[in-house]
A and B are shown apart, each in its own frame.
Chain A
Amino acid sequence: MHISEGVLSAPVLVMGAAITAAGCGIGLKKLDYDRVPQVAILTSAFFVASLVHVPIGPSSVHLVLNGLMGLLLGWPAFPAILIALFLQALLFQFGGITTLGVNTFNMAFPAIICFYLFAYAVKQRNNLISMGAAFACGFFGILLGSFMVAISLVFTGDPFMGIAKVVVIAHLPVMIIEGLITLFSAGFLKKLKPELLEVVHAKR
């Protein structure tokens, strides 16, 4: 999901940075001081989860879980994803300073959309609706994310059209895996700790 440094054109970088700044502003505003440790520690959990490699056929993919992140965190998912990507840039040099804005937006925007579309349905008592919504949440998180990566590439220049298509196609299996993982983890959390599915930033 990361776009490397030096690939994107200036307008795309500036747009990404501006929207991410706005999104983080909203996210931080909705985040109470006494919920900061909670969101932060969940962020580190998601960071560690992104190190988990899940086998698929002969190869493996690592988890992204931006749909689940949106589901649990709501708007604070924006700053949370920013922090996670910043740490990845510092620790592993995946992505970097100038692409931080675009990369955050590409992952956090789907998270917020998933939150609005599916958070309510996931909490429903009807198992079928809840499970379907959870699967859709993981699936759309990646689908939308890969579309956004593709769009950032195409806006940079037409020659990237081919790569943009490859990015979306390559993410197809990831979408299904993320959907399944989100389905089962949401079900797990719903059984064991339903209050985690109540968005964390709500005031105590």
Chain B
Amino acid sequence: MVAEEFSSGNSLIHDLDPRIKIIVATLFSIIVAVADRTEVLLLALLFSACCVIVSNLPLIKVIKRLLLVNGFILLLWILLPFTYPGKTLFSLGPLDATVEGIRYALSITIKSNTIILACIALLGTTPIFTLAHALRHLYVPDKLVQLLFFSYRYIHVIYFEYVRLVNAMKIRCFRPRSDLHTYKAYAHLVGMMLLKSYDRSERVYDAMLCRGFKGKFWMLDHFSLKRSDLILFIIMLLSITGLGFLQWGKGLFS
């Protein structure tokens, strides 16, 4: 259930230095989120598609993932065409769908999916512990990275604890319904999970103290940039700059 589906694999992108991946994914997301010209968005989509193809991910899984996260976008499609002011394209009863509304919804859909694809290809291909390590190298505050590290480390443990509790409930013939009893049972489930995690955290911390933990994670290994990393980095940076230039460049010279 909580698995890094795309993190293992063998491709140019999987081998890329995680620091570069984080920087590129961030820059690219920001540019696409702010851009509004259609040709820029389509080129950006091409860029993400290229990343996905180069990273050699199972396409069906990627598409399934995309469909899953488009729920909010679906809501936009239901409402936006009818609430956006503009020329009427067609009418459904008292509601008028406008050309501008549909265009707006379409541009948001492209933007959103472009960013998600890029993030799957760039960040999804890195194990989260490696990402945490890379974030520390990118000067993200120490405590924040430690929080990330510990939380991810224990998500699986607590998930299995949750499954055990749910199984215990099932054995006792618990059937979720929409009544107070169900909510109470779920609340106690949550309370039990919090309680167990709290106790576990005490044990973990004591064990760490026994092993001489003094509040700091030492980074023993460091990333090193290979030539292929640099080349790919420069290509990606140039494409992103190109996108930015297409979006805002004209204003610079007129």
Count residues of A near B (Cβ-Cβ below 8 Å). Answer: 73
Q: Closest CB-CB distance, A168 to chain B, in whole Å?
A: 13
Which has the most chain A C-beta neighbours within 10 Å: B72, B128, B215?
Answer: B72
Query: CA separation between A107 and B114, bound complex, in Å?
Result: 25
A26 at the A/B interface (Cβ < 8 Å)? no
Q: Closest CB-CB distance, B38 to chain A, in whole Å?
A: 14
B147 at the A/B interface (Cβ < 8 Å)? yes
A contact residues around B82 at 8 Å (CB)? 162
B201 at the A/B interface (Cβ < 8 Å)? yes
With A96-B116, A98-B115 known as contacts, the answer to whether A31 contacts B143 (CB < 8 A) is: yes
Q: List CB contacts (< 8 Å) of A100-139 with chain B.
A: none
**Interface bits A3-15 vs B (CB < 8 Å: 1, else 0):** 1111110100100
Once the chains bind, are B148 and A86 in contact (CB under 8 Å)? Answer: yes
B9-17, B179-187, B224-232 - the one binding chain A: B179-187
**Interface bits A76-111 vs B (CB < 8 Å: 1, else 0):** 000110111011011111101111000000000000
Once the chains bind, are A33 and B143 in contact (CB under 8 Å)? Answer: yes
Query: CA separation between A92 and B110, bound complex, in Å?
Result: 19
Which has the most chain B C-beta neighbours within 10 Å: A37, A42, A89, A188?
Answer: A37
Once the chains bind, are A44 and B178 in contact (CB under 8 Å)? Answer: no
B contact residues around A97 at 8 Å (CB)? 25-26, 29-30, 115, 119
Once the chains bind, are B128 and A63 in contact (CB under 8 Å)? Answer: no
Once the chains bind, are B131 and A13 in contact (CB under 8 Å)? Answer: no
- Nearest to A176 among chain B residues (CB) is B183
Once the chains bind, are A52 and B190 in contact (CB under 8 Å)? Answer: yes
Query: CA separation between A78 and B194, bound complex, in Å?
Result: 18
Once the chains bind, are B190 and A65 in contact (CB under 8 Å)? Answer: yes
A contact residues around B243 at 8 Å (CB)? none
Query: CA separation between A109 and B200, bound complex, in Å?
Result: 28
Which has the most chain B C-beta neighbours within 10 Å: A31, A34, A36, A39?
Answer: A36
Once the chains bind, are A92 and B190 in contact (CB under 8 Å)? Answer: no
B154 at the A/B interface (Cβ < 8 Å)? yes
B93 at the A/B interface (Cβ < 8 Å)? no
Query: CA separation between A160 and B115, bound complex, in Å?
Result: 21
Q: Closest CB-CB distance, A102 to chain B, in whole Å?
A: 11
B237 at the A/B interface (Cβ < 8 Å)? no
Query: CA separation between A13 and B79, bound complex, in Å?
Result: 22
A202 at the A/B interface (Cβ < 8 Å)? no
B104 at the A/B interface (Cβ < 8 Å)? yes
A contact residues around B234 at 8 Å (CB)? none
- Nearest to A183 among chain B residues (CB) is B187
B contact residues around A82 at 8 Å (CB)? 144
Query: CA separation between A117 and B189, bound complex, in Å?
Result: 25
B contact residues around A166 at 8 Å (CB)? 75, 79
User: Lowest 4 A-B CB distances belong to which pairs?
Assistant: A6-B111, A184-B187, A40-B150, A33-B215
Please list the residues of chain A having a beta carbon within 8 angstroms of any beta carbon in chain B.
2-8, 10, 13, 24, 28, 31, 33-34, 36-45, 47-49, 51-52, 54-57, 63, 65, 68, 72, 79-80, 82-84, 86-87, 89-94, 96-99, 159-163, 166, 177, 180-186, 188-189, 192-193, 196
